[in-house]
Structure 1
């Protein structure tokens, strides 16, 4: 069976990583949404980089939870062709053992240059004075998708949806596009759909099946049932 798994902020929240809403909506007295934009980066790069440096430090201290581990089980990938796509900018899927994870919103552990657009691994704090190792321009930023920017790898994921036998959304709110539209695309393509979440979302009605509860509890049971 070909399975496409989409994971969202609710999955990483169970590892202690707060979502934007979970951060109380503010960081150092500023609205988080006002920091996560290309305009904010241009106006005050030091402030925006400090915000993401803090996020990177939080993520580095977090650990994969039971849901991450279950999705990375070798038996699961052996019995089924599993593709994992995530809206999360952390590396918890990889640390749990998943390979070839598609990061729709990029990775906090990568940097890129706003001048030449090349990217590289960067697990260190970024500073406005940092220069690009490729073009030497001081235009370094986290390699993540800011509000208003286009998500990554969407064409590949949309093609994978059409070819999948099962589309599974775990811990996603159903409010962020284009991921919020993918369950509809799956339905049009005749793909079976499953939602795993703690509560009903605005797209729950489009799923063929829903499983309610914490991902760290529900996902391991579901994976075990798929392995047989």
Structure 2
């Protein structure tokens, strides 16, 4: 894709196509900067009357541990601001883990059950960290991991400090869907833009399957789609082949 906006438009189209076929689809949403153009493009489709998401359900990928519910940087608050409100979705359409629970392991197990009881995730939207993490599965996370508490790396905390008044305010711990949990979604859609993501994308798509690059687990998934702009694709050895296969994709074959 030529730029971030085009990445967002294409990914939004994938979600819209899913919801057209399955109006009550459960869509997993991610936070961070990469998915923002997707949400903006999807909201524009809703405003234009092109796509109806009234029955769509949304589930959360991860959450900080210990932030009070009223804190503006809880991921629940971010999703409310960036996804639920622009799409006109109610709180009843939302599933998320409890980062304030007294018994966090139990809260993680409860979220696994909630996802299962909801019928499983139809499409999980993902970003990617500069170190290759997905969700908050930091490098060397197990490919068999389930929803659990993780300790953030210092680099992730530094990356996220821009959303807080200081680095000291960034929590050390999060609840995150594990790699095995994420991989149970029927369709994985990873979006990325910018040169800063180029190395991670190359390692995830073309590198060895390795826990040090958690996103490389997408290589094992039967339906994984990676949508990137030209800058994020700049380290891919087979970029020309990917462009050719996309251009020659049959009309009947969805992303």
Higher relative contact order (CA 8 A, sep 6+): 1
For Structure 1 versus Structure 2, the TM-score category normalised by the shorter chain is 0.3 to 0.5
TM-score by length of structure 1 reads 0.34
TM-score by length of structure 2 reads 0.31
From the two aligned structures, give the one with the greater strand fraction: 1
